[in-house]
Amino acid sequence: MAVPLFDLSQGRIAAPDLKSDLDMTTEELKQLLDLAGQMKRTPLRFVTALKNRYLTLLFEKPSLRTRMTFELAIKQLGGDAILSTGPIGDREPLKDIARNLDRWTQGIVARVFSQDTIEELARWSSVPVINALSDLYHPCQALADFQTLQERFGGMAGLKLTFVGDGNNVAHSLMLDAARLGVHFTLACPANYLPNAEIVAKAREFATATGAKIEVVHDAREGVAGSNAIYTDVWASMGQEKEAEERRRAFADFQVTRELLDAASPDAIFMHCLPAKRGLEVTDEVMEHQRSAIFDQAENRLHAQKALLVMLLD
């Protein structure tokens, strides 16, 4: 049966910004994933969706996937982007930057070190601000990840997703979206690298409505039991380089190996937001395994972000 075309007039995100995953309702999240799928299948239908729209990309952190997919998404939707790299707010206050950019462009995509930067930009900007990564959240990555799960399994409610590693920004976003989509979520992490307690509480609040189970354990093998997807990320993110050796020791028992993959469900896929440190958080064998979905996730960054841009800006 043909999937009905998405009605763009009915699919807007009510919030003015995407500062975090919490700026979308559950229904908006589901609509966005449906739209992302349609954009992937029928890209030519949307080539003028952002015609004559221009966006600012502010990148404090280096990027391959985020920069390329946002630039391509904007251009493939008929718009264009201006890129600025380096520290934000060093030469002039954030409130001045925001009120310059909103006079020139119709949106701001920011990849930053601190969530406070996102909040301050959104406070002063009259155009939408999109969080392309902060220390607390990575909502754009999570959108692509759930699009990937939906493609692989044909649906998501009742699946189990296990994140093995640090209770970081990616884990936070995955947890929040999983809870609203009815996906059971387990974080397997060392005791000293727990996720933000308020975010866990919010995810569990969402989960009461969907029946999802949100849990945090400290044993990787226990965490992946029954999982349909095993997800990991680098042990030391940008800005944590001084902690790299300490983190290497702390996470030694949380490497995703073939043995750990085999301890999950027989259909389990492997996921990683990339870039990966092969031989640290994951072995090369798992990265190259036929059940690895890492490049599907990377591709879906383009489609999920297209959907986000249209629902926020159109």
pLDDT for the residue 11: 72
pLDDT means per 10 residues, the chain with 314 residues, are 53 93 97 97 97 97 96 98 95 97 98 98 98 98 98 96 98 98 98 97 98 98 98 87 90 98 97 97 98 98 98 90
pLDDT for the residue 9: 56
Compute the distance between CA of residue 41 and CA of residue 34 in angstroms, rounded to an integer: 11
Q: Known catalytic residues?
A: 111, 138, 141, 233, 273, 301
pLDDT digits (tens, 9 = 90+) for 283-309: 999 999 999 999 999 999 999 999 999
pTM for this structure?
0.96
- In the block, tokens 């879906």 appear at 300
Report phi then psi at 120, rounded to 5.
-70, -40
Strands 214-217 and 229-232: unpaired
pLDDT for the residue 2: 45
pLDDT digits (tens, 9 = 90+) for 73-117: 999 999 999 999 999 999 999 999 999 999 999 999 999 999 999
Report phi then psi at 168, rounded to 5.
-105, -165
Question: Is there a contact between 270 and 293 (Cβ–Cβ < 8 Å)?
Answer: yes
Helices H, strands E: what count in the chain? 12, 9
End-to-end CA separation in angstroms for the chain: 28
Angle 45-47-52 from CA coordinates, rounded to 5°: 140
